[in-house]
Amino acid sequence: FFFNLALHNMRIVLAIVIFFVVGALCGPFDAEIMNLFSQEQTGEGTYYGASTGGSCTLDSPTPPSGSNQDIRVAINSPQYYGSAACGMCMQMTGDGVGSGADPIDGTFIVFVDNICPECSSGDLDLGESGDGRWDISWIAVPCPGSIGNLQYMGQGSNPFYVKLQVRNHVIPVSEMTIFDNGAYQSMTRTTDNFFEYNAAYPGLSGTLDIRVTAVDGQVVDDQVSLNDITSGQPFNGNGVQFDSPNQASPDPSVTSAASSSSTRTPSPTRDSAVSTSSTRTSSPTRDSAVSTSSTRTPSSTRDSAVSSTRTPSNTPDDAATVIVDDGDGYLSSTSDSSDSSTSNSSNNSSDDSSDSSDSSDDDSSASYLAIGSFSLFAIFFVL
């Protein structure tokens, strides 16, 4: 009896340890994102063509927090934070230093609506037509202007499954909970900028109470209708919004994902291959590899095929603006009139010297999902 009791207590202690260890591994995003509001980031600015959508699913229509800003951008994979950076506004500055035909020169307010899987920490891929790689610096800011209150949008929802997005926020959202079975229940963040919840029988109905937490710890309570969620269209709650962030000094325990240097040294290999032409001839090998999904895995075959001129394939052009990348690291857009939710998946490939770093910039959410799954399995096992 005493042996079994001791074994049971050890299992409980082990389960608690696993819970806190996994929590420490999976919950660093708030501190890292808050540091973006106080620590200037540096990197390269590139172009992937006109875009009105992407991995963040912030189109149809774009919320005021994004439509009021100068440029829409895809943020690099390490600082995408599993979609927690979606909807964030930043002040970006360039001084025209770099290589290519279209320098980034000036200060702009930019809005994150996409991910650039191939970009390194600190890099931003601009959702407009242009060419080249340019030194930039940026810092996160509260989305300026009169953007109104929080908005929401559902996707594929029903009384037993809710997939809900928070949009039009002044600062990024950390988490969302929903009131069910007498208590607020956690919702799970998805990589396409939604939160999911599975309800037990008899399911959800009518008006639902939700609680939304910002990355700086602000909490607002709101109400949403299940009918509005299942409509799949953006809608308003009861009229709440976050304040400007509770600014704090940089957290010394959080390592900045971008270099602290304000300038970058050009790569001789990469920068010597700059093409200043915005017209390119289609390559069957390359254009057939263009993905219409929100992210892409770089193709070594495609990225090594260099051509001085290209014209985009008719097939991708019918769906969206096609950005051509010959493996020289510089992008050219053939159209600036696209309204596609596809990602900048066919852009921004680096030179051979950066291919090894691309593999280390895989979407961080996958690793956290794996850790979370393992932790749940371990907890069930020890109990």
Q: What is the pLDDT of residues 215-269, one digit of tens each?
A: 999 999 999 999 999 999 999 999 999 998 865 444 444 443 333 333 333 333 3
Residue 335 corresponds to which amino acid?
S
Predicted pLDDT at 247: 58
Predicted pLDDT at 10: 58
pLDDT surpassing 50 at residue 369 = no
Predicted pLDDT at 82: 97
On average, the pLDDT of the chain sits at 72
Could you tell me if 42 and 122 are in contact, meaning their C-beta atoms sit under 8 angstroms apart?
yes
pLDDT surpassing 60 at residue 127 = yes
Predicted pLDDT at 51: 75
Could you tell me if 151 and 222 are in contact, meaning their C-beta atoms sit under 8 angstroms apart?
no
% the chain with pLDDT above 70: 56
Q: What are phi and psi of 371, to 5 degrees?
A: -65, -45
* Both structure tokens of 175: 């988490």
pLDDT surpassing 60 at residue 305 = no
Of 124-133, 156-165, 235-244, 352-361, which gets the smallest average pLDDT?
352-361
Of 55-69, 114-128, 258-272, 358-372, which gets the smallest average pLDDT?
258-272
* Both structure tokens of 215: 């990355």
pLDDT surpassing 50 at residue 336 = no
Please give the residue that has the higher pLDDT: either 210 or 8: 210
List residues bridging with 98 in a β-sheet.
134
Predicted pLDDT at 50: 87
**Cα 210 to Cα 157, 176, 205, 254, distances in angstroms:** 16, 7, 13, 30
292: buried, middle or exposed (CB in 10 Å: 19+, 13-18, 0-12)?
middle
Q: Confidence class of residue 279 from pLDDT cuts 50, 70 and 90?
A: very low
pTM for this predicted structure: 0.63
Question: SS3 of 367, please?
Answer: helix
Q: In angstroms, rounded to a whole number, what is the distance separating the alpha carbons of residues 218 and 241?
A: 10
Predicted pLDDT at 245: 85
pLDDT surpassing 50 at residue 83 = yes
Please state, as a whole number, how many other Cβ atoms lie within 10 Å of the Cβ of residue 191. 19
331: buried, middle or exposed (CB in 10 Å: 19+, 13-18, 0-12)?
buried
Predicted pLDDT at 325: 40
Question: SS3 of 308, please?
Answer: coil
Over the range 6-30, which residues count as b (16 or more CB within 10 Å of their CB) and which as e?
eeeeeeeeebeebeeebeeebeebb
pLDDT in tens, 155-201: 999 999 999 999 999 999 999 999 999 999 999 999 999 999 999 99
Q: In angstroms, rounded to a whole number, what is the distance separating the alpha carbons of residues 75 and 85?
A: 8
Question: SS3 of 116, please?
Answer: strand
